[in-house]
Structure 1
């Protein structure tokens, strides 16, 4: 006898579960039930996707869901056709509820990650939103990683993009790690990227490299130091010998050793747990040390944290708000929190990124000029208010919002430096590029981001626009958005005719390969029938445009460093250099040659 529920029963139950899903109220059994329904009833899958998309659009009026990715997934679902989705350019930022518990619950990852995970369960895709496939296996390296290629330690990010594949055979997690990879969905599941390595010092395992993506797992560091940026925005430094369990982009547990964390406003609520302790950040910089005997100590360097003494049942026995310049020891024998003297320099130091400029070869600028860009800004005059166009007397750039301190935007060391601010500051063309969108074109620049926060590198918009949402192009770093992409990716948006409506335009996303503190070569190419993204000399994504696409007429302005000239939206923080705009499509060979000349690759 076939006991499989009929479609109407599954659909009815799905409609009961979906409101609980979007409100993060599903328990573990309900999550399993939802996944089972979607797997056994293909007819429910388009309904599921449509519901989540509509909810995202209504919840965040200016949110966005990537049309290409939704269509890409929907086309793989039985009985579903191409979907229409909406996009917008008004900034949105997702924010997770602060967590006290170190144990995962149904809402730990938040709606966005759970939606992405369940979409992957539906499609059974091997690569998509998240790129690290966990497996239980034999003993292996002591770090869970999501890429197969090592990035060199240095100023230039790796020329090879991270591999969007599973863990390599020699990167299998240990049995202890595998426990973190197992859930009710099965032994093999796709895990989100939690953090990226941004700095290494000392004799560190070759399994780690700057740019390496980390998923949930255990990081054992016998010696040396590693600094990571979590995808929530928290920056964590770990000194060996130490052991750190990474749970997600918002939580980790220190098993032994010492760790320091700097938590910006967007990552507030980041959790570091320790034996018998849970430390919830309230906007701060703090350190945690676990002594060889297993005693946990917490020191707040700035701001404050909420420190909990955890009982045997996993719940808080007592808690204390720890203020700046205070150090507290977790005394589990007496079930109390004790103030102690500062340990001085026994905590890791979180290092800022250096101000090193690009290592330009003599041929680089000459080669760019030979390729005849319309705009070529080199930023060679320190503290200048206007940037000269190397190609002629038009299309100079103006620095807007320098202010008296020149801290928010300034030219120094041969590049332009942006600092995130609550006031407008940007770079903008003096005059418009005439008829820019009537033919193929290319946009090329170098960037060294300070972090992976959702930030607009540049926008191109009609000179005549009245609505600040209207764009022809946007190029930005994306991590936490309502679109479907890997964290730390580069987004290239094209809308023709320029528009601010959701349904107009196409996106091309690079793999998640941006690394804070490293120089990246970025080239966006628009031809009559396709969009391309090239990162560090390689074409990493191409999107074919619909047949009959027409390039619109008009004159266009460029704004660099934030989304629009009207508001301080999605500000980029970091350095940019060698900015060029071409009135034609650069070839892959030309782009690779430009990268080679800077990177000095033979």
Structure 2
């Protein structure tokens, strides 16, 4: 049996949904679903999202509002509905076949039970377990799924990561119930939370108290007498005292360094001065990227036209290591910190090379970088873009040759949730007729990725951590016009696509890198 491979499994599922899966691929997917809980979890997640998108009633409401009189468009609408029906039938048929194979057909060997949680009900995974842990799920290991259940911790600590990116740390003695993706209950114990933008609105119930996160990092202590203490490290939280009817009686908006106590016995909500006994999420061990000389030498050997390392700056100017041309400028609130280009949450800024970059599209091009998203976002986030020359005035549109970014869970295009996205337009255009390539691989917050996007004359390629994630064949065209280069924002106007996170080791090539070069670059960082 083949081992689970995220990229390969996503390809097989997409082929099934698009109705172009071969019989060999169907057999491969069937085998994966029978033996791999990760593959089954991915299958159910992707098909669920696909069905939700196809059944979005907004398509029909938009159609009825904008084109009520054009009868010629009706067949297209009917075809769209038929396609959704065929998709539903296909998915339903495949699930029935899968259940039949797994549970109704006799087998010579018993099926090994791999997971204890229904894949459809997985809410989080175990991220970390302390050595002294004593809790109700003694057999659970790091990486195991957690569903809708109550966790009782007698001693020690555990870290959970929800599917939406929310991270929770619990220290015993504690009792914590996972309700769904957006809510939980802490009956007693110590808790620390780091909630990304994509999970804003996450709530925690406590005795006659409700804590609603608005995208932040906070801590919560609940004792067995029913008193809840809240402390906010960053961002904003709403702490509420609930009345006898379960509705909010009093509430307080809390910001960084604010703390309150909510007492269910006395029915009080008051400011808390003592903030010494709160726990906090540890900083990610991957907080800063450590680049060795072997990686730098590997990039130099591929002869990029520009290589920006962010080790030094002179009044916001970042030099190009390869030549005196194409120095970049820090714009807005972009900054250099510990050798990386950083875009803090809530800030706006970019790294811009205004000097026209020559011949970047004559023979194709490659953009290489290391990226660490701060968190999963509800909106598009721009990584890099090549744009036509000139700073537009007023409402003039910007023409893009190429752009590279991170998607939200859903957007105006169809794609996997939280994906890497590369698009190309030739000649450079402003919003239409581009060719898209998605990695079909979900990014996570607080994690470094080595990314390379390549534009050939006839294909777009995305590499993630040294391996080809996806390739889209298309006649893309070429030309010798110069372009400007942006990082962190799409252009001078598309600030809503602001990146929040860190970027490092940006290299720009006037040719497509080979698969061997990309693998060598990625592997060289492991060398000592």
2:293 to 350, 354, 362: 362
Of 587-596 and 548-557, more deviation after overlay is shown by 548-557
Q: Aligned in 2, Cα 1:257/1:364: closer, same or farther, shift over 3 Å?
A: same
Rounded Cα–Cα distance in structure 2 between residues aligned with 1:356 and 1:317: 40
Q: Is the 8 A contact 1:286 1:300 kept in 2?
A: yes
| 1:347 pairs with 2:278 | yes
Q: Is the 8 A contact 1:489 1:514 kept in 2?
A: no
SS of equivalent residue, structure 1 residue 171:
coil
Rounded Cα–Cα distance in structure 2 between residues aligned with 1:266 and 1:49: 22
Q: Aligned in 2, Cα 1:279/1:365: closer, same or farther, shift over 3 Å?
A: closer
Rounded Cα–Cα distance in structure 1 between residues aligned with 2:287 and 2:343: 15
Q: Is the 8 A contact 2:458 2:476 kept in 1?
A: yes
Q: Aligned in 2, Cα 1:567/1:486: closer, same or farther, shift over 3 Å?
A: closer
**TM-score normalized by the length of structure 2:** 0.68
Q: Indicate the residue corresponding to 2:309 in structure 1.
A: 378
Q: Is the 8 A contact 1:461 1:556 kept in 2?
A: yes
Rounded Cα–Cα distance in structure 2 between residues aligned with 1:562 and 1:493: 15
Q: Indicate the residue corresponding to 1:519 in structure 2.
A: 448
Please provide the CA RMSD for this pair.
Answer: 4.4
Q: Indicate the residue corresponding to 2:109 in structure 1.
A: none
Following TM superposition, by how much is the alpha carbon of 1:522 offset from its aligned partner in structure 2, in angstroms? 0.9
Q: Indicate the residue corresponding to 1:438 in structure 2.
A: 362
Rounded Cα–Cα distance in structure 1 between residues aligned with 2:126 and 2:327: 37
1:473 to 399, 402, 414: 402
Q: Indicate the residue corresponding to 1:42 in structure 2.
A: none
Following TM superposition, by how much is the alpha carbon of 1:322 offset from its aligned partner in structure 2, in angstroms? 3.5
1:327-373, CA deviations, whole angstroms, 9 ceiling, x for partnerless residues? 01223xx8x45669677444321345579643333222222111111
| 1:309 pairs with 2:242 | yes
SS of equivalent residue, structure 2 residue 361:
helix
**TM-score normalized by the length of structure 1:** 0.60
| 1:533 pairs with 2:467 | no
Following TM superposition, by how much is the alpha carbon of 1:321 offset from its aligned partner in structure 2, in angstroms? 0.8
Q: Is the 8 A contact 2:388 2:483 kept in 1?
A: yes
SS of equivalent residue, structure 2 residue 522:
helix
Rounded Cα–Cα distance in structure 2 between residues aligned with 1:485 and 1:219: 35
Q: Is the 8 A contact 2:421 2:436 kept in 1?
A: no
Q: Indicate the residue corresponding to 2:157 in structure 1.
A: 224
SS of equivalent residue, structure 1 residue 431:
strand
Q: Is the 8 A contact 1:328 1:340 kept in 2?
A: no
| 1:124 pairs with 2:91 | yes
2:343 to 391, 394, 418: 418
Matches within 5 A, 1:96-495: 124=91, 169-173=113-117, 189=120, 207-208=141-142, 223-226=156-159, 228=161, 231=164, 236-261=168-193, 268-275=200-207, 277-281=209-213, 286-291=218-223, 293=224, 295=226, 297-301=228-232, 305-309=238-242, 316=246, 319-322=249-252, 324-331=258-265, 336-337=267-268, 344-353=275-284, 357-382=288-313, 385-401=316-332, 408-423=333-348, 425-453=349-377, 454=379, 455-463=381-389, 466=392, 467-482=396-411, 483-495=413-425
Following TM superposition, by how much is the alpha carbon of 1:543 offset from its aligned partner in structure 2, in angstroms? 2.5
Following TM superposition, by how much is the alpha carbon of 1:409 offset from its aligned partner in structure 2, in angstroms? 2.2
Q: Is the 8 A contact 1:226 1:239 kept in 2?
A: no
Q: Is the 8 A contact 2:391 2:492 kept in 1?
A: no
Matches within 5 A, 1:35-54: 49=55, 51-53=57-59
Q: Indicate the residue corresponding to 2:44 in structure 1.
A: none
Following TM superposition, by how much is the alpha carbon of 1:456 offset from its aligned partner in structure 2, in angstroms? 1.3
Following TM superposition, by how much is the alpha carbon of 1:560 offset from its aligned partner in structure 2, in angstroms? 0.7
* Aligned residue pair count: 434
Rounded Cα–Cα distance in structure 2 between residues aligned with 1:364 and 1:597: 5
Rounded Cα–Cα distance in structure 2 between residues aligned with 1:126 and 1:574: 42
Q: Aligned in 2, Cα 1:288/1:492: closer, same or farther, shift over 3 Å?
A: same
Rounded Cα–Cα distance in structure 1 between residues aligned with 2:124 and 2:492: 32
Q: Aligned in 2, Cα 1:421/1:240: closer, same or farther, shift over 3 Å?
A: same
Following TM superposition, by how much is the alpha carbon of 1:567 offset from its aligned partner in structure 2, in angstroms? 5.1
Following TM superposition, by how much is the alpha carbon of 1:538 offset from its aligned partner in structure 2, in angstroms? 1.8
Q: Aligned in 2, Cα 1:526/1:341: closer, same or farther, shift over 3 Å?
A: closer
Q: Is the 8 A contact 1:447 1:521 kept in 2?
A: yes
Rounded Cα–Cα distance in structure 2 between residues aligned with 1:532 and 1:526: 7
Q: Aligned in 2, Cα 1:361/1:172: closer, same or farther, shift over 3 Å?
A: same
Q: Aligned in 2, Cα 1:438/1:257: closer, same or farther, shift over 3 Å?
A: same
1:549-587, CA deviations, whole angstroms, 9 ceiling, x for partnerless residues? 433552211101122223533222232211111222222
Q: Indicate the residue corresponding to 1:591 in structure 2.
A: 518
Q: Aligned in 2, Cα 1:417/1:203: closer, same or farther, shift over 3 Å?
A: farther
Rounded Cα–Cα distance in structure 2 between residues aligned with 1:266 and 1:46: 18
SS of equivalent residue, structure 2 residue 496:
coil
SS of equivalent residue, structure 1 residue 326:
strand
Matches within 5 A, 1:22-101: 49=55, 51-53=57-59, 80=83
Rounded Cα–Cα distance in structure 2 between residues aligned with 1:283 and 1:387: 32
Following TM superposition, by how much is the alpha carbon of 1:594 offset from its aligned partner in structure 2, in angstroms? 0.8
Q: Is the 8 A contact 1:327 1:342 kept in 2?
A: no
1:3-61, CA deviations, whole angstroms, 9 ceiling, x for partnerless residues? xxxxxxxxxxxxxxxxxxxxxxxxxxxxxxxxxxxx9xxxxx999658544668999xx
Following TM superposition, by how much is the alpha carbon of 1:446 offset from its aligned partner in structure 2, in angstroms? 0.8
1:186-243, CA deviations, whole angstroms, 9 ceiling, x for partnerless residues? xx74x6x86688887766788335xx99776666666234264773x76544334545
Rounded Cα–Cα distance in structure 1 between residues aligned with 2:477 and 2:248: 65
SS of equivalent residue, structure 1 residue 438:
coil
Unaligned runs of 5+ in 2: 1-46, 66-77, 104-111, 134-138
Q: Is the 8 A contact 1:373 1:582 kept in 2?
A: yes
Rounded Cα–Cα distance in structure 1 between residues aligned with 2:369 and 2:387: 18
Q: Aligned in 2, Cα 1:469/1:316: closer, same or farther, shift over 3 Å?
A: farther
